[in-house]
Amino acid sequence: MTDRSQVAASARAKALREQLEHHNHQYYVLDAPEISDVEYDALLQELQLLESENPELVTPNSPTQRVGAAPAADFPASAHREPMRSLANAFSVDDLNDFDQRIRDQLDIAEVEYVAEPKLDGLSVNLRYENGVLVQAATRGDGEVCEEVTANARTIGSIPLQLRAEGLPESIEIRGEIVIRLKDFERLNQQRLAANERLFANPRNAAAGSMRQLDSRITATRPLTLFAFGVGTCSEPLAETHYGVLEQLRIWGFRINERVECVAGVRGCESFYERLIEDRDSLDYEVDGAVYKVNDRGVWNTLGSTARAPRWAIAHKLPAREATTVVESISVSVGRTGVLTPVAELTPVSVGGVVVSRATLHNLDEVRRKDVRVNDTVMVRRAGDVIPEIVGVVESKRPAGSEPWEMVSHCPACGSDVVRLDDEAAHRCLAGLFCPAQRKGAIEHYVSRKAMDIDGLGEKLIDQLVDSERVKTVSDLYQLSMADLRGMERMGEKSSQNLIDAIEKSKTTTLARFLYALGISQVGEVTARALAQQFGSLDRLMSADEDTLSEVRDIGPVVAQSVHGFFAEPHNREVIESLRAAGVYWPEDEGHADAKDLPLAGKTFVLTGSLQTFTRDEAQARLEALGGKVTSSVSKKTDYVVVGDSPGSKQKKAEELGVPLLDEDAFEALLVGH
């Protein structure tokens, strides 16, 4: 590379890094993104490309490093330059008055100004910046000796890799709390539930566990947020007040909790505390107390510290949100898609001011991991509006002779057999077409656009039709009369007639749509098409065994098990028979052919950009009808990329890999030619 282009690459990399860090700050610290995720990714990709072509441009603090790095052997330990002390606790207003009185006596003043802050429930970190660049991140450890977690900290969007401003101190330590926000925590546990991984008991454990990953690529996937709350050592003098320091940290690019404020004396602290309790349930992070710090940093040294905690700050504990109670029974609820969820029915107990009488146990594996049994004494915990959780069992109080809990063998809502598909954590009722618990969900899916496409039958109307028992299964839709609809809210003559017409029209369909409409677990549109194409007839499909099903292209054993189980359920067969009796019809054997005889058999296509004469779905259906396969990303195995208007990065990728491109004309010619 010439000197000049090296200079250009280096300047471009610098500009990209600055832009990316700016957008990162907007997104993670200010919650005010200025560009879309796609635009952000495009900038990041450009920088990644530049860096891969010019490895000398990579810096440890490049935004590209936020994705994490290969696992480390361990976390190096080192001594904190200044110990990370803990806080003394006040459990009552008396304790608070004692704390305040001591300070007033020692400083000989009438009233103390405090900074009141929420005490966030996460884990604390110390971040060292040299000349504005993050050089080390460490957990508290035992307060004296830390564990270095720098690679992990770099993956956290709200931790600046480079402080934003001129005239920065040569060296400064920033301290703060790493938390997982409640919304993010729920999403994280949902993902883990789906992947059958052990759930985190609470956001604090999740945050701590995420920071203790030796593989920072895992940390990078965890939704961690840093709130800065103070400083450690600093090479230069800082603002005179604590509030001023926090303001400075905000300017440097840190997130400061929005509730932080200056208050006057104990009365000010109490008022902050009461408001915090009032709003506690609506906060999106867990708070276990308030912290009051003397605002004037000039007196901190005078006030001093004990070995454990400073004398210029105190934590005012909030009431615990955990309580013990007894599991009276374990019931099973059936969700709209047939998933069975065990629920602990508890002796009602007040947890942080709210009476809790039920807690979800998620699935059988979770019940087993926690070994929750009927009549056990358990610790329950509530956070924000999140559904209460059982944290653990008090084993010493377990009554003699108790047995581990077992999942029911029949659906509590409809009595059908319960199954557990091979790689799923959940048990399911497969009688989706019949089971009352799944009625609304099944009907919503059946009428949806890509299924039977019955326009005018929305969620509210389905609710009314099911609640009034006019519709129990999807086949009842075909018996609806004008008189039935007239009684429903907001259904005039015209809309009722339109709906009846739409229902009538839906009777003529295709086998693929019909299969998709049945809502068989694991059977999406693509699988439904593959099944229709392979079997060509519903009866043939219904009588296929699991082995035959597994032989179909793109269908694995779990899908085969699910399809077989669905058709083996007599209740589902009855509904399918009534649908056929009501006149639901599709031409059989259409498009049924041995896939390998089709003209595009074995060819893989990727679609990008928008075509004039086809929607994406149509283009895909046409290719599949000819035996072609459509995938979403370009690789060496792709045979053709069909390029419409405003194509995305897939075109570029195809060009790089030398995959042939088809424009719309060429694409049509290909379809017509066959």
Positions marked active-site: 119
Q: Which is nearer to ligand IVH, 310 or 392 (CB)?
A: 310
**Contact (CB, 8 A) for 607 and 575:** no
Does 120 participate in binding ligand IVH (rule CB under 6 A)? Answer: yes
Cβ nearer to ligand IVH, comparing 260 with 477: 260
- In the complex, the smallest distance separating the C-beta of residue 232 from ligand IVH, rounded to whole angstroms, is 9
Among 20, 211, 315, 471, binds ligand IVH (CB under 6 A): 315
Between 139 and 572, name the residue whose CB sits nearer to ligand IVH: 139
* Residue closest to 85 by CA, chosen among 292, 295, 258, 311: 311
Provide the H-helix boundaries in 66-214: 93-107, 150-154, 182-194, 203-211
Q: Choose between 29 and 447: whose C-beta lies nearer to ligand IVH.
A: 29
CA distance 173 to 249: 11
| Contact pattern from residue 230 through residue 269 relative to ligand IVH, giving x for each residue in contact according to CB under 6 A and a dash for the rest | x---------------------------------------
Which region among 235-243, 266-274, 310-318, 319-327 touches ligand IVH (by CB under 6 A)? 310-318
Q: Which stretch binds ligand IVH (CB under 6 A): 118-126, 234-242, 378-386, 648-656?
A: 118-126
**In angstroms, what is the minimal distance from the CB of 216 to ligand IVH?**
21
Give the Å distances, CA to CA, from 227 to 65, 216, 407, 546: 21, 20, 43, 53
Cβ 227 to ligand IVH shortest distance, Å: 7
Distance from C-alpha of 417 to C-alpha of 569, rounded to nearest angstrom: 8
CA gap 48, 234 in Å, rounded = 34
Please choose, out of 112-120, 421-429, 493-501, 666-674, the segment that lies near ligand IVH by the rule CB under 6 A. 112-120
| Cβ nearer to ligand IVH, comparing 258 with 501 | 258
Q: Among the candidate windows 42-50, 119-127, 408-416, 609-617, which touches ligand IVH by CB under 6 A?
A: 119-127
Q: Is 205 among the residues that bind ligand IVH (CB under 6 A)? A: no
> Does residue 310 belong to the site contacting ligand IVH (CB under 6 A)?
yes
Residue 177 interacting with ligand IVH (CB under 6 A): yes
Q: Which residues contact 586 (CB under 8 A, 6 or more apart)?
A: 508, 509, 510, 511, 513, 514
Dig out the tokens for 365 from the structure: 């594996």
Task: Give the single-character DSSP code of 29.
Answer: I
Cβ 651 to ligand IVH shortest distance, Å = 50
Count Cβ atoms below 10 Å from residue 74 Cβ, excluding itself: 9
Q: How far is the CB of 352 from ligand IVH (least distance, A)?
A: 18
| Residues 458, 459, 462, 466, Cα dihedral to 10° | 180
Determine, following the binding rule CB under 6 A, whether residue 87 of this chain makes contact with ligand IVH.
yes
The least CB distance from residue 443 to ligand IVH, in Å, is: 49
Per-residue binder mask for ligand IVH (CB under 6 A), 129-168, x = binder: -----------x----------------------------
Q: How far is the CB of 229 from ligand IVH (least distance, A)?
A: 4
The Cα 406–Cα 371 span in angstroms is 11
Nearer to ligand IVH, 140 or 513 (CB): 140
Residues 6+ apart with CB under 8 A from 233: 81, 82, 171, 172, 173
The stretch near ligand IVH (CB under 6 A) out of 114-122, 364-372, 483-491, 626-634 is: 114-122
Q: Is 299 in the site for ligand IVH (CB under 6 A)?
A: no
Q: For residue 291, state whether it binds ligand IVH (rule: CB under 6 A).
A: yes
Which residue in 12, 85, 311, 336 binds ligand IVH (CB under 6 A)? 85
- Stretches 11-19, 80-88, 295-303, 620-628: which one binds ligand IVH (CB under 6 A)? 80-88
Q: Does residue 203 touch ligand IVH according to CB under 6 A?
A: no
- Under rule CB under 6 A, residue 622 binds ligand IVH: no
CA distance 155 to 69: 9
Measured on CA atoms in the order 50, 53, 55, 56, is the torsion positive or negative?
negative
Name the DSSP class of 25. Answer: I
Give just the sign of the alpha carbon dihedral 366, 370, 374, 379. Answer: negative
Give the span between the Cα atoms of 100 and 316, in whole angstroms. 12
Report the 10 Å Cβ neighbour count for 100: 21
**Smallest separation (angstroms) from ligand IVH to the CB of 256:** 10
Give the nearer residue to ligand IVH in terms of CB position, either 146 or 659: 146
Q: Given phi > 0 = left and psi -120 to 50 = alpha, else beta, which region is 313?
A: beta
Which alpha helices (DSSP H) does 468-524 contain, by range? 482-486, 493-505, 511-517
- 209-238 b/e with 16+ CB inside 10 Å = b? bbbebeebeebbebbbbbbbbbbbebeeee
Residue 417 near residue 572, CB atoms below 8 Å: no
Site map (CB under 6 A) of ligand IVH, residues 214-233, x = contact? ---------------xx---
Asked whether the beta carbons of 115 and 243 are under 8 A apart, the reply is yes
Cβ closer to ligand IVH: 247 or 328?
Answer: 247
User: Quick one: 17 or 293, whose CB is closer to ligand IVH?
Assistant: 293
**Rg of the chain over CA atoms, in angstroms?**
31
- In three-state secondary structure terms, 313 is strand
**Is 124 a binder of ligand IVH (CB under 6 A)?**
yes
Stretch in the footprint of ligand IVH (CB under 6 A) among 307-315, 326-334, 382-390, 558-566: 307-315
* Nearest-angstrom CA–CA distance, 12 and 10: 5
Residue 453's identity, in one-letter code, is D
Q: Identify which of residues 100 and 177 has a Cβ nearer to ligand IVH in the complex.
A: 177
User: d(Cα 73, Cα 453) in Å, to the nearest integer?
Assistant: 56
How many residues at the interface with ligand IVH, by CB under 6 A?
15
Q: Which residue has the tokens 């993010």?
A: 184
**92: three-class secondary structure by DSSP:** coil
Q: CB-wise, 140 or 650, nearer to ligand IVH?
A: 140
Helix (H) or strand (E) holding 360: strand 354-360
Q: Give the CB-nearest residue to ligand IVH.
A: 124
115 sits near ligand IVH (criterion: CB under 6 A): no
- State which of residues 313, 356, 442, 621 lies at the interface with ligand IVH (CB under 6 A): 313
Does residue 117 touch ligand IVH according to CB under 6 A?
yes
Write out the E strands in 131-260: 133-139, 145-147, 171-180, 224-234
Type of residue found at 417: D
Among 54, 86, 337, 509, binds ligand IVH (CB under 6 A): 86
Of the candidate spans 11-19, 116-124, 472-480, 550-558, the one that interacts with ligand IVH by CB under 6 A turns out to be 116-124
Beta-strand pair 377-381/389-393: antiparallel
Question: Segment near ligand IVH (CB under 6 A), from 84-92, 161-169, 350-358, 479-487?
Answer: 84-92
Angle at 115 between CA 127 and CA 283, to 5 degrees: 75
Q: Which is nearer to ligand IVH, 80 or 629 (CB)?
A: 80
Regarding 552 and contact with ligand IVH (CB under 6 A), the answer is no
Task: State which residue, 19 or 86, has the beta carbon closest to ligand IVH.
Answer: 86
For the bound state, the minimum distance from the C-beta of residue 287 to ligand IVH, rounded and expressed in Å, comes to: 8
Please give the distance of CA 84 from its chain centroid, rounded to a whole number: 33
Binding site for ligand IVH (CB under 6 A): 85-87, 117, 119-120, 124, 140, 177, 229-230, 291, 310, 313, 315
